[in-house]
């Protein structure tokens, strides 16, 4: 298994392009500045959706976080349309 557990995602858009400095998380994609990154509960949901290829859960998470950039097996096929 080569799934990488990502511990920091933007709490606003879900991007992994987050820089932590002095306890503040700055998102390089949407510019959000927060004192916390994405909740562990949502990180776990993302991990699980990717792991089991749960399309429905992945879609809900994509709607919530616009820069999520996660790929589940069959959505990768769909992108080739």
Residues of the shown chain interacting with Zn ion in the complex, contacts defined by CB under 5 A: 10, 12-13, 15, 27, 29-30, 32
| Strands of the 33-34 sheet, one edge to the other | 18-21, 24-27, 33-34
Give CA 57 to chain center in angstroms: 12
User: Shortest distance, CB of residue 26 to Zn ion, whole angstroms?
Assistant: 9
- CB-nearer residue toward Zn ion: 26 or 55: 26
User: Shortest distance, CB of residue 18 to Zn ion, whole angstroms?
Assistant: 7
User: Shortest distance, CB of residue 33 to Zn ion, whole angstroms?
Assistant: 10
Residue with tokens 């769909």: 78
């Amino acid at each position: 298994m080569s799934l990488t557990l990502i511990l920091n995602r933007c709490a606003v858009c879900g991007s992994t392009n987050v820089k932590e400095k002095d306890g503040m998380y700055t998102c390089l994609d949407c510019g959000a500045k927060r004192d916390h990154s994405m909740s562990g509960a949502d990180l776990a949901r993302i991990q699980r959706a990717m792991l089991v290829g749960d399309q429905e859960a992945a879609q809900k998470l994509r709607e919530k976080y616009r820069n999520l950039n996660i790929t589940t097996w069959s959505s990768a096929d769909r992108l080739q349309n």
